[in-house]
Structure 1
Amino acid sequence: MTSIPNIALNNGVAIPQLGFGVFQIKPDETAEAVTEALRIGYRHIDTAQMYQNEKQVGQAIARSGLDPSEIFVTSKLNNNRQSFDDALRAFDQSLVDLGLDRLDLFLIHWPLATIRDYTEAWRALERVYSEGRTRAIGVSNFQPHHIRKLRAETEVPPAVNQIEVHPYLVQDELCAFNAEHEIATEAWSPIAQGLVLDDPAILELADRHDRTPAQVVLRWHIQLGNIVFPKSSNPKRMQENFEIFDFELSDTDLGMISGLDRNERTGPDPDVFDSVPS
C-alpha cells in the first residue's frame, strides 16, 4: 500500500498530507464513498457539519474494520453555531454523529467577520481541546487579519488554516503567512472543481509525466507542502488521486503551474461571506 507522508502540526500531532474530502457528496452516497476510500488506503477524512454527512462518514468508519485511531478525522463548526454554548453543543453532536470519542481536528468553518465575533467560537474550541476531546483545533477560510485577531485575543494558536488553493488561486501570501506562524495550510478545491484540468500547461505536464492532469495538480500541492483532500465518488478517480507519490515535478514544472495564478476563486471571498443557515 502507498505510504502517505505525514505533516507535524504545531502541537506535534501528525496529519496525513493526502486525505479524502466529502464536500458535495450526497449523504446517501457518502458511506459507500468513504468505505471505498478507506479500502484504497486513505486514512484522513475531511467532513463538516455543513455537509450534512457526518453520520454516513461515521457509518463507513464503523464498518471498515479499522480501529478509529488509524483514521484522521476532521470536521468543522457550522456557521449557525458560533456562540460559545452553541459551539460546544455542536461539537458534542459531531462526536455523536461520527460515532467517535474524540476528533483529530475541529475547525471554525468560516470567520463570518462581518456579522459575528469568531473569537467566541474559538474559545469553545479551546475548551474542547483542553479537555482532550479533539487532538487539534484550527480555522478554515481565515485571512491574516482574522488570525492576528485570534492570536491577540485568545490562547491557543490555530494548528491549521483550510483555504481555497489551486493553480488559478495560488494564495502565495496567505500560505507564507500560515507558514510563518506555524499554521499548516490545507487546500480545499485543489483542482478548482476541475477547471484547471483542461489548461494547456497542465495537459502538457500530464503528457510529459504520463499522468492524469489531476495527478499533476495534486502532486504540485504535495510538493508545495499543502495538505490536500480531493473529492470524488468515482472509484477509478479515487484510486488515481491516491497514486501521486511515485513521481516528482521539477522546480520548472512547479513554477509553470504556479504561474497559472489568476487570483480566481471558485468559492466565496472570506472577507464578505456571511451565509448562516437557518
Structure 2
Amino acid sequence: MPGEMPRLGFGTYAHDDPEVCAESVRQALEVGYRHVDTAQGYENEADVGRGIRESSVDREDVFLATKLLTENLAYDDVIHSTKESMDRLGVDTIDLLYVHWPLNTYDPADTLPALDELVDRGWIRHVGVSNFEPRHLEEARDVLENPIFANQVEMHPMLQQDALLADAREHDYWVVAYSPIARGEFFDHPAIAETAARLDCTPAQVCLAWLLDREHVAAIPKATGEHVVENVGALDVALDAEARERIDGIDEEHRVVDFDEAPWHATTD
C-alpha cells in the first residue's frame, strides 16, 4: 500500500460560510476524522485552519491537504501561493499538496519541479495531482523527483474509475475519491438502496464503505451537521460478497463534475 494517510477524510468543497466551515471541521475531528481536504479555490483555507485549531485534536494527528489553483501553476506562483496557503491554514507544513487540474497555467516542466522544491524546503510532505488522466500521470512521473502520492478524482459506484485505479495499484499511490456519494443523486439505485436496507445502514454509508473496501482508495465526503457523523459510520459497515458484486456490476456511468474543458474530454494535450 502507499504511504500512510487516513482513508476516510473530510471534504470542504462549497463550505463557504466561515462559521459553518470551521465548526464542521472541528466536529469532524472530534468524531474521529483525521484527514481534512481543502483547496485554494474553495476560499476557505483560513476557516479550515481555525476548525483544526479549535478542535481537541493535535495538529500532528491531522493529515491536511490542499490544492493549487490552476492560475497558480507557474513555478514562482506555486512557491508563493503555497506559502500563502500555509499562512491561511496556520501551519508550518502541508501534508499533501495537489495540482487541482492539469489546465490553464499547468506546464509539467515548470509546475512539477516547484512541487519537488516545496518537498525539499519541508513546506509539503507529499506531492499530489487531481483530475489527472493516465497520460498526465505518465508525464508527471517522468518529470517529478518525488513519487506521486495521490490522484484525487471523482469516484463512486456510478463512476468506478477502473483504469485510474489500475494505474494507482501498478504505481502504488492513492486514488482519493471526491464526490464519493455523488451528492446523493443515485441513492435510490437498487444496488445501493437495497444493500442499505439489507445491511441496516444508509445509502451514503454503503457508497463510502464500497470505496473504502477498494485497495488504494480513500474518500473525502463533504458534510455538515448529522451527516458528519453518518459518514464516519461507514467505517463500521462491512459489505458482504453480495453487496460488492451488485455494486461492482453497476454498468451505468454518471459524472457529477463535468465541463467541456475537462481533461477526460481530450484525447491529446
TM-score with structure 1 length normalisation?
0.89
Q: Which residue of 1 aligns with 2:33?
A: 42
CA distance in 1, matches of 2:156, 2:75: 33
Determine if contact 2:206/2:237 at 8 Å carries over to the other structure: no
Q: Which residue of 1 aligns with 2:205?
A: 215
Q: Which of 58, 61, 67 matches 1:76?
A: 67
Q: Which of 72, 91, 95 matches 1:104?
A: 95
Unaligned 5+ segments in structure 2 are none
Bigger drift between 264-273 and 78-87 goes to 264-273
Q: Provide closer, same or farther for how the CA distance between residues 119 and 188 of structure 1 changes in structure 2, counting only shifts above 3 A.
A: farther
* 2:228 counterpart of 1:238: yes
Kindly report the root-mean-square deviation, in angstroms, between the aligned alpha carbons of the 2 structures: 1.6
**Greater than 3 Å deviation, 4+ residue runs:** none
Return the letter of the residue paired with 1:20: F
Determine if contact 1:171/1:263 at 8 Å carries over to the other structure: no
Query: How many residues are treated as equivalent by the alignment?
Result: 261
Q: Which residue of 1 aligns with 2:249?
A: 259
Deviation at 1:147, TM superposition (A): 0.9
* 2:260 counterpart of 1:270: no
What whole-Å deviation, never above 9, does each CA across 1:193-217 have from its counterpart, x for those lacking one?
1112111221100010000011111
What whole-Å deviation, never above 9, does each CA across 1:243-270 have from its counterpart, x for those lacking one?
1233311233112112224232111232
Unaligned 5+ segments in structure 1 are 1-7, 274-278
Query: Superposed, which structure 2 residues align to 1:1-278 within 5 Å?
Result: 9=2, 12=3, 14-28=4-18, 29-112=20-103, 116-225=106-215, 226-233=217-224, 235-268=225-258, 269-272=262-265
What whole-Å deviation, never above 9, does each CA across 1:194-241 have from its counterpart, x for those lacking one?
1121112211000100000111111000101310111111x2111111
CA distance in 2, matches of 1:222, 1:129: 28
CA distance in 2, matches of 1:162, 1:116: 16
Q: Provide closer, same or farther for how the CA distance between residues 171 and 81 of structure 1 changes in structure 2, counting only shifts above 3 A.
A: same
Deviation at 1:175, TM superposition (A): 0.7
Determine if contact 1:170/1:261 at 8 Å carries over to the other structure: no
Return the letter of the residue paired with 1:99: G
Determine if contact 1:111/1:270 at 8 Å carries over to the other structure: yes
Deviation at 1:272, TM superposition (A): 4.8
Deviation at 1:54, TM superposition (A): 0.2
TM-score with structure 2 length normalisation?
0.92
Percent identity between the aligned chains?
39
Report the 3-state secondary structure (helix = DSSP H, G, I; strand = E; otherwise coil) of the residue aligned with 1:197.
coil
Determine if contact 2:132/2:263 at 8 Å carries over to the other structure: yes
